Amino acid sequence: MSDDVEFDFNGLKSLVDDPSSNKTMIAVLAISAIILIYTSVDLSNLNEEVRELIDSENQWQISFELDTISFQDTVILSDGEQRQFDYEISEEQIPDGYRVGNITSIISYSETSGLPADPADSVSSSIRQTSMEAQWNDNRNTLSGSSNDASDIELMLQTYPDFDGLTTNGTGLNSYQVLQPWTQTGYGVGTFSVVVELNTQSPPLLNDSDEEVTITVQVTIFKANANSS
């Protein structure tokens, strides 16, 4: 029974006793040490190369291909009337790779009553906040305006953060990384609402009771491209 579990030291003993075995062991240890040093040096070199690659992030030029989606309504508003116009911007309307940069609304009208010496009417308009994902508090927004001389009212809502359509610079390892800030989805998709109110101005003793108003909505969409510079 004890013979089965007893470890046979004879083999190990003969290795240590044999001078040629010792030489072999020393040689093996020496080779191992060389391999270990070589591998460490190689790894640290590789590390340095990777760090250099990250540190010297490439410079890129980001340009934008622009397009527009338009809506237009021409309606007759009566004196004192306020009306809301809703425009649906859906993912299906936006071509592949494009995002919504901003949405402008131009409200135009003239004096069409035909009454003699009829002054231009007063029109006021505003973009009403909806659940659409946009930069509702952006400094560049013009969310309301008015006119009393028949000049156009121009409103603008910034939908995509920091978009202005101008070529800009970026840094990154590849174009995918560089374009990340310009490929977020959801902005400018949903309902865009414009409220228009008319208050007529009449000539003496006559009554100007309505006016024709045209609302033009332009959705600026963009596709970002990165070129290594």
> Site residues (CB under 5 A) for Ca ion?
118, 121, 201, 208
In the complex with Ca ion, the residue whose CB is nearer, 79 or 138, is: 79
Element (H, E) at 24: helix 19-55
In the complex with Ca ion, the residue whose CB is nearer, 14 or 207, is: 207
How far, in Å, are 52, 105, 149, 198 from residue 83 at the CA level?
Answer: 61, 15, 20, 9
Asked if 215 and 84 count as a contact pair (C-beta separation under 8 A), the reply is no
In the complex with Ca ion, the residue whose CB is nearer, 119 or 181, is: 119
Quick check: helix, strand or coil at residue 115? coil
Asked if 72 and 184 count as a contact pair (C-beta separation under 8 A), the reply is no
Least distance in Å: CB of 93 to Ca ion? 37
Least distance in Å: CB of 203 to Ca ion? 7
Which residue has the CB atom at the shortest distance from Ca ion? 208
Quick check: helix, strand or coil at residue 86? strand
Least distance in Å: CB of 209 to Ca ion? 9
In the complex with Ca ion, the residue whose CB is nearer, 118 or 138, is: 118
Least distance in Å: CB of 75 to Ca ion? 16
In the complex with Ca ion, the residue whose CB is nearer, 81 or 118, is: 118
In the complex with Ca ion, the residue whose CB is nearer, 199 or 216, is: 199
Least distance in Å: CB of 117 to Ca ion? 10
The count of other CB atoms within 10 Å of the CB of residue 86 is: 10
Query: Residue 182 carries which DSSP code?
Result: G
Contacts of 128 (CB under 8 A, 6+ apart): 84, 193, 194, 195
d(CA 74, CA 62): 38
As given in the structure block, the two tokens for residue 196 are 């228009």
List, in sequence order, every residue forming a beta bridge with 213; answer none if it has no partner.
75, 109
Least distance in Å: CB of 112 to Ca ion? 9
